[in-house]
Chains A and B, each alone.
Chain A
């Protein structure tokens, strides 16, 4: 029997966004084809979170030569380590370019599950402070939606995937549908109280909100606190599309998942003014194929979806599909992050932790919430944690002999507490992704060329992250306080966003309020490319909520025969 090539819906990408599109579309009864550029992943044999250092060739230091050869870019990401590197792309097969003076890091995985396998799992709702920011200060274009439009979809997503967290009643960081919170450490609880008091309740340190199960949920087991989630989770205790949304889609009987299918182009039918389908290159055989569908969802991740549109040229759209506004590939953002402070916490020497908490603490945004900061617009949240030095401290500690050894085995170092900022980046027309005129990937598709730079507002905010965190550590009673600056280039935070933004009118952006292309009504982009601003929260839950919301509207339009 010949493989079917016509479907109700096509979804490009099987990561965080694509998994949600697949689940929602199939549950609404649509025959859905998910095309994934990477190969399949089998958790039973591919996940490596329980592999201990003694079983690794370099005991966790990583195979330098292999990483330099295959992952010269990806190795800059902490998760691309001795055993986890397999969930990151081979940089030689997947090149991209930048101007010499504008480095950009693009960390990504090509496999079923995308980066949901390696992600940090931190999830924070946006608020109207965020959706209203562009309108308020005039940077970027106004979002066509507000919190009330997305709030029910945040709940919908949270209920399904399971989020641990604590409600705090903050307007700038809305509460959610949380499973029980993970514990704070003794020093975090103490610091939270002292910081609340010192800053009049304005600075709130809460336990991290994370897509990790603290109780059994929807057929998935609670976390057993083994620690290195970025290497997979055999019990699916943190959210991956592979262990959660894709199985739900599979269960409907409406899903066709096709790995090793590199989508090279969205095919535009000028007579009907619609996307008729996609052109695919088989990743292994290089064979070309075409698939057709009534609707096409791009969920290939921010840069990939924009690149795909830029590469889909026609007489009607010579500068990239759905680009009549000329904004495609512009206003690209990431979070600038990593500046902050750390300190030593005196006391609490009779306390320790048990288990490895795959989560930290979060300090909700406090800048430009109630008062205006003189140096910069918008704000940042801070993420960090505390702990006591383990045996590793011995490497720089003076001493030798049996007593020294015993102290490393039986005692712990002092507590330290640290946090760093994750800052909002202003949407700027000159932060762009274009197609490189000469470089192509392994499949002959023009590579992305990134030109994204931090500017005045980001740099000013970066300075403030250091001082503000140092102040908080001081209030918490820390000694030995040290600030740290970060030289992370754009992209490094892996929160790349924008390039096909949503807008109120067709001339200002690529997508309308339903993630539907203004120019091509059966084309939807629901990954990070759709973002009109970056806020300061980790963004993936917003992609998930927007995806589910967009599908519901698409199905309603199909039922009304508007599509």
Chain B
């Protein structure tokens, strides 16, 4: 696509299409202002999630999971979207992770030193059966942490340099990928 056309397209698209429905944006601005998620997770549960999230995705030359609000995202999913059954299973699983921290590391996960946190994570990740707690909830949480991190605005914009309108498709471009994300799965019927 010609650059001139891309600009034309961008012009057409700057209308309102970048904006989410108002109610959707509202939740994130409320959380950004320090507002709570209705019926949400407790301080302790959020601290545990934050500690696990920052062990998996710590701050380096790019932000950490808590830097971009991952615990709040997990909170929204678990508290506002899960079925009662899934939420109960998740909360029980969090307890099982905490119990593992106490047996492996001798304290609540969030209180452990980085190396002790690492051993807890390794002990859970090394379990071959991912369907029994604490592994079951750990893997669900890990997927949520990764999703919450990489779909956050700072990470998509500043880290992945996500291009909303790439303007071209190349099927055989060279690595590396710093400038754009891999394609989403293509779906059609």
Contact = CB atoms under 8 A, between A and B. Distances in A.
Interface stretch (A6-14, A41-49, A425-433, A435-443): A41-49
Interface in A197-243: 216, 221-228, 230, 232, 234-235, 237
B169 A354 contact: yes
Interface stretch (B39-47, B56-64, B99-107): B56-64
B166 A186 contact: no
Given A400-B56, A401-B55, A51 B20 contact: yes
Which residue, B17, B142, B166, B189, has most C-beta atoms of chain A within 10 A? B189
Contact of A120 (B6, B9, B180, B187): B187
Given A58-B76, A226-B164, A395-B142, A234 B183 contact: no
B178 A227 contact: no
Contacts of B167: 224-225, 355
A55 B25 contact: yes
A428 B76 CA distance: 48
Which residue, B8, B23, B168, has most C-beta atoms of chain A within 10 A? B168
A387 B160 CA distance: 18
Interface string B162-186: 1011111111111111101111111
B171 A224 contact: no
Contacts of B18: 50-52
Contacts of B81: 58, 61-65
A266 to B, nearest CB: 30
B131 interface: no
A60 interface: yes
Contact of A182 (B165, B169, B188): B169
A55 B19 contact: yes
Contacts of B166: 224-226, 354-356
A83 interface: yes
Contacts of B9: 221, 224, 234-235, 237
B90 interface: no
Interface in A380-397: 383, 385, 387-392, 394-396
A353 to B, nearest CB: 5
Contacts, number: 241
Contacts of A261: none
B152 interface: yes
B17 A49 contact: yes
A325 interface: no
Contact of B171 (A63, A189, A392, A405): A189
A351 B18 CA distance: 31
Contact of B172 (A183, A390, A392): A183
Nearest to B114: A401
A336 interface: no
Contacts of B168: 225, 354-355
Interface in B80-106: 80-83
B171 to A, nearest CB: 4
22 contacts: A48-B20, A50-B165, A51-B17, A55-B28, A59-B77, A59-B148, A119-B189, A122-B188, A186-B172, A224-B165, A226-B165, A352-B177, A353-B169, A353-B171, A353-B183, A356-B169, A358-B186, A360-B188, A383-B188, A387-B182, A392-B147, A409-B160
Interface of A: 44-45, 47-65, 77-79, 82-83, 119-122, 182-186, 188-189, 216, 221-228, 230, 232, 234-235, 237, 337, 349-360, 383, 385, 387-392, 394-396, 398-402, 404-406, 408-412, 493-495, 538
Interface of B: 1, 5-6, 8-9, 12-13, 15-21, 23-25, 27-28, 55-58, 60, 62, 73, 76-77, 80-83, 118, 121, 125-126, 139, 142-143, 146-148, 150-153, 156, 159-160, 162, 164-178, 180-189
